[in-house]
Amino acid sequence: MRKYYTVEGDVNAKKAKEAYPKLALCDRCVSHYIVINEGDRTYDECAKCGADD
């Protein structure tokens, strides 16, 4: 199961959605990002690797 994470994206972006995107990530892929906030669990596939187990 994956979780939604608010991560650090393009800090120079003018829109908050680009600067701090909210992504569904698995436990393996979340270590590749700087996490700002941890959200709810989800059954959506991982945004980085596509894991859907």
Would you list the domain boundaries of the chain?
A: 3-41
- The predicted pLDDT at position 53 comes to 77
- The predicted pLDDT at position 6 comes to 96
- The predicted pLDDT at position 42 comes to 94
- Residues of the chain whose pLDDT is less than 70? none
Q: Is 2 exposed, middle or buried (0-12, 13-18, 19+ CB in 10 A)?
A: buried
Instruction: Write the CB contacts of 38 (distance below 8 Å, at least 6 apart in sequence).
Output: 3, 4, 5, 6
Tell me which DSSP letter residue 32 carries.
Answer: G
Cβ atoms of residues 1 and 30 within 8 Å: no
Residues 24-35: pLDDT tens digits? 999 999 999 999
